[in-house]
């Protein structure tokens, strides 16, 4: 009698367990699909590089190009080119202390709500406190100081930044 009841219970609960398993599997698949879709769409974004005057950033640009994953536009040393940037860019900005227009540049980037990586050429404390305080309020920036970290930051932003923005 006990075996019969056990068999009936198993037969009755089997469809609900199968449905729960299918629903859970679909949720997991959809989660990964949406994450990969965001990453794929962000790989279509161009990377706009703003370099300081009299600085090439050859090593950093070379590292990004060698990865073969990103569309990199020709770098510019004119921060005013931010006016021509649309909302589907990732910005890499080489920072040197003598950049007088950098504060206004940051304001424009924040207005456009663009993801931005500030590259400090190995000097992790290059940004003055007033700029760090201003940037602290902005969610889409990071500071890199080595070419490998720059590559990692571009990859990370491509993985998480909402494409629709």
CB 32: neighbour CB atoms within 10 A?
10
pLDDT on residue 163: 64
Give yes or no for residue 165 having a pLDDT over 60: no
Q: How far is CA 75 from CA 44, 78, 146, in A?
A: 18, 9, 18
Domain ranges of the chain: 1-43, 45-160
Percentage above 70 pLDDT, the chain: 96
Residue with the larger pLDDT of the pair 126 and 26: 26
**What is the mean pLDDT of the segment spanning 41-55?**
85
Residue 89 has pLDDT above 90, yes or no: no
Q: Please state, in angstroms and rounded to a whole number, the distance separating the CA atoms of residues 107 and 27.
A: 40
Give whichever of 39-43, 128-132, 149-153 has the largest mean pLDDT. 149-153
More confident residue, 35 or 106: 106
> pTM (2 decimals)?
0.77
Tokens describing residue 147: 């070419």
What confidence score (pLDDT) does residue 2 get? 59
Q: Could you name the CATH architecture of 45-160?
A: 3-Layer(aba) Sandwich (3.40)
């Amino acid at each position: 009698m006990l075996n019969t009841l056990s068999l009936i219970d198993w037969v009755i609960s089997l469809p609900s367990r199968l449905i729960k398993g299918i629903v859970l599997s679909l949720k997991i698949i959809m989660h990964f699909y949406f994450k990969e879709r965001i990453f794929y769409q962000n790989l279509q974004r161009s990377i706009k590089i703003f370099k300081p005057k009299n600085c090439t950033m050859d090593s950093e640009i070379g590292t990004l190009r060698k990865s073969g994953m990103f569309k990199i536009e020709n770098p510019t040393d004119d921060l005013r080119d931010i006016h021509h940037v649309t909302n589907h860019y990732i910005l890499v900005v080489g920072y040197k202390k003598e950049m007088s227009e950098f504060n206004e540049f940051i304001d424009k980037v924040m207005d456009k709500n663009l993801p931005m990586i500030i590259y400090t050429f190995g000097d992790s404390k290059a940004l003055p406190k007033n700029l760090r305080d201003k940037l602290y309020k902005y969610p889409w920036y990071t500071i890199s100081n080595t070419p490998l970290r720059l590559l990692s930051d571009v990859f990370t932003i491509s993985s998480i930044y909402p494409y629709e923005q």
